[in-house]
Amino acid sequence: MTQPTHITIATRESELAIWQAEYIKSELVSLYPRLEVTILGMTTQGDKTLNKSLSKIGGKGLFIKELEMALQNKEADIAVHSLKDLPMHLSKEFMIGAIGKREDARDAFISNDFGALEMLPAGSIVGTSSFRRQSQLQRRFPDLVIEPLRGNLQTRLRKLDKKQYQGIILAAAGLIRLKLKHRIRQYMSTENSIPAVGQGALAIEILKERTDLIPLLKPLHHLDSAYCVLAERAMSRALGGSCNVPLGAYAVIENKTLKLQGFVASIDGKAMIKDKIEGSVEDAEKLGEKLAKQLLDQGADKILASLIL
C-alpha cells in the first residue's frame, strides 16, 4: 500500500483547535520528513451558534459535521478533534484512526478573586454550559448560582475578566496546551468532578475506506489513553450519553489494571449515582458496558427517564 505524500488536516478554527491540528502536523512531519501536511480551518455550526446551549441546538456533533463533510468531499484526509466533542456513535463511514496521548483530564476552577471553589460566597455566579459540571457543582455547593458559558476558551476567559462571573470551570487540558496554566486557581479532583468522557485526549477521525492512513497514524496512537477513553465511551454509549445527559466517566491504568469510575445525575445534582469497576485493560469496552449496567441497576434509568430536556 502506497503511503500518502500529502495530508490535509481538517480542524475547527478556534485557537485551541488550531493548536491541536498544528501539534498533529508537527508529529506527522517529525515521523515522515517528506510528508507535506496542510491545515484546513473551518467554522462549524457549533462555533456559530453561541447564544443557545448545545443541548438545545443539537449537541456536540455540531462541532464535527463540517469537518466530516470535508473528509467525504476529499477536501481533507484526516480531522483532528477533542475526543470529548466526538458523538458516542460515529456515522458508519467514519472511524477513529488514532487516539493521542491524553493531557491532564481534570476540570479546573478559574477566578480572578478566589483561590478555590470553597472560598466563593453564597450566591456567587459560576459559569459552565456543561450539565455534567453543573450537576456535580450544585451537589457540592447548592448555594452557588450556575450560569451558562459558551464560546471558545479565550471568549470564556474574557467573560470572566469582564466580571460576568465570579469563577468559571474549564478543562485543564486546553489551558495547559495554550500555555494558560497560570490562570488555573484550583485543579478539581476526579472524585469531586468526574471528567467528561474522553476529556484531555485528541482523536484523529478518518473515512473507513482510507485504509492507507492507518499505518501512517499508528505511531500517534497512544494505547493506554485509547484503552481508557474506549472504556469511558462504552459506558456513556450504553447510557445514551450526550451533552443532554449529566454523566461523566474517567479511567486510569495502574499496574496493568484499568480502573473506571462513572456517574449519572439530575441537572441539579440532587439525584446522583456513582460507581467504580476495575479489570483487564484488554476488556476496556466490556468494563465500560458493565459499569453502565451497575449504574442502571442502582437507579440510573430513573434519573435518565426524568431528564426532560
Active site residues: 85
Q: Could you tell me whether strands 184-187 and 107-110 are parallel, antiparallel, or unpaired per DSSP bridges? A: antiparallel
Amino acid making up residue 73: N
Torsion on CA atoms 87, 88, 92, 94, rounded to nearest 10: 60
| Beta-bridge mates of residue 82 | 202
Residue 81 · residue 96 · CB < 8 Å: no
All three cell numbers of 296, joined, read 442502571
Phi then psi dihedrals of residue 97, to 5 deg: -80, -25
Identify the H or E element spanning 22.
helix 15-31
Residue 165 · residue 185 · CB < 8 Å: no
The residue among 171, 176, 252 whose CA lies nearest residue 23 is 176
Residue 260 · residue 227 · CB < 8 Å: no
